[in-house]
Structure 1
Amino acid sequence: MDKIDLLGAFALIAIVISLFLALFLVTVKTAHQLSNRLFAFFLVLTAIDISVNLSDLFNIPLNARVFISSFFFLQLPTFYLYVLSVCYADFKLRPKHLIHVVPFLIANLILIPRFYSVDLASKIQFLQKSGSMLEIQFNHVVIHVQVVAYLIAAFMLLRKAKKIYLENYAGASIESLNWLFQFTLALSVFCFVALFKNIFKFSEYPSIAEGLKIGLFVFELVIIFWYLFKALNHPSLFRNIDSKLKLVQHIITEEKNSGQFAVDENEYSEELLKLKQYMVEDKPYLDPSLTIQAVSAALKIPVRDLSVLINHKLEQHFYDFVNTYRIEKAMDILKDVTKSKLTILEILYQVGFNSKSSFNTAFKKHTGYTPTAYRKNL
Structure 2
Amino acid sequence: MASIFSREINHISDRIFVFWLVLVLLAELTFFLSSQNLFEDFHWVYEFACGSHVLHGTVFYFYVLSLVNPTFQFKKKDLLHVIPFAVYMGYKTTTKSLGLVDCLEEGGCSHSDNIYAVISVYMKFLIIIAYVGSAYSIVWKIKKDNQFKQINPYGVKWIFSIGNGVLILLATVFTIRILDSLEINFVIDQVMLINIIVSVFVISFVYMYTKYAYIFAHPFENVAAAETEGFKKLDDYLEQEEEQYNEICAYIEEHQLFKDGDLTLRKLSSKINIPEHTISQLINRVTDRSYSDFINAYRINFFIEQIEQNAHEDQTLLYLAYECGFNSKSSFNRVFKQFHEITPTEYIKSRGSN
> Which sections of structure 2, spanning at least 5 residues, go unmatched?
8-14, 64-73, 103-111, 142-150
Question: Paired residue for 2:126?
Answer: 141
1:1-378 matched pairs, under 5 angstroms: 42-43=24-25, 45-49=27-31, 51=33, 58=40, 69-73=50-54, 103-113=84-94, 115-118=95-98, 120=99, 122-123=100-101, 128-130=114-116, 137-146=122-131, 163=154, 185=165, 191-202=170-181, 205-206=182-183, 208=184, 210-212=185-187, 214=189, 217-218=192-193, 220-221=195-196, 238=210, 241=213, 245-246=217-218, 250-255=221-226, 260-263=232-235, 277-287=250-260, 288-290=263-265, 293-294=269-270, 296-297=272-273, 310-312=283-285, 314-317=286-289, 319=291, 320-340=293-313, 342-354=315-327, 359-378=332-351
Q: Percent identity?
A: 18
TM-score (norm 1): 0.53
User: Given that residues 60 and 132 in structure 2 are in contact (C-alpha distance below 8 angstroms), is that contact kept between their aligned partners in structure 1?
Assistant: no
User: Given that residues 293 and 303 in structure 1 are in contact (C-alpha distance below 8 angstroms), is that contact kept between their aligned partners in structure 2?
Assistant: yes
Secondary structure at the residue paired with 2:235?
coil
User: Given that residues 190 and 219 in structure 1 are in contact (C-alpha distance below 8 angstroms), is that contact kept between their aligned partners in structure 2?
Assistant: no
Query: For the structure 1 residues 111 and 294, does the alpha-carbon distance in structure 2 shift closer, same or farther, using more than 3 Å as the test?
Result: closer
Shift of 1:250: 3.2
Shift of 1:199: 1.7
Alignment: residue pair count: 305
Cα deviations by residue, 1:114-157 (Å, 9 ceiling, x for unpaired): x1332x3x446x97443896x66533311434566789999x9x
Question: Paired residue for 2:109?
Answer: none
Cα deviations by residue, 1:335-378 (Å, 9 ceiling, x for unpaired): 44343465555434322344666644543343232334323433
Secondary structure at the residue paired with 1:211?
coil
CA root-mean-square deviation? 6.0
Aligned partners of 1:106 and 1:276: how far apart in 2? Answer: 56
2:255 aligned partner, one-letter code: D
TM-score (norm 2): 0.55
Query: For the structure 1 residues 105 and 137, does the alpha-carbon distance in structure 2 shift closer, same or farther, using more than 3 Å as the test?
Result: same
Higher RCO, 1 vs 2 (CA within 8 Å, ≥6 residues apart) = 1
Aligned partners of 1:354 and 1:148: how far apart in 2? Answer: 43
Aligned partners of 1:149 and 1:337: how far apart in 2? Answer: 60
User: Given that residues 227 and 233 in structure 2 are in contact (C-alpha distance below 8 angstroms), is that contact kept between their aligned partners in structure 1?
Assistant: yes
Aligned partners of 1:47 and 1:308: how far apart in 2? Answer: 38
Aligned partners of 1:44 and 1:361: how far apart in 2? Answer: 38
Query: For the structure 1 residues 296 and 105, does the alpha-carbon distance in structure 2 shift closer, same or farther, using more than 3 Å as the test?
Result: same
Aligned partners of 2:189 and 2:197: how far apart in 1? Answer: 13
Query: For the structure 1 residues 253 and 68, does the alpha-carbon distance in structure 2 shift closer, same or farther, using more than 3 Å as the test?
Result: closer
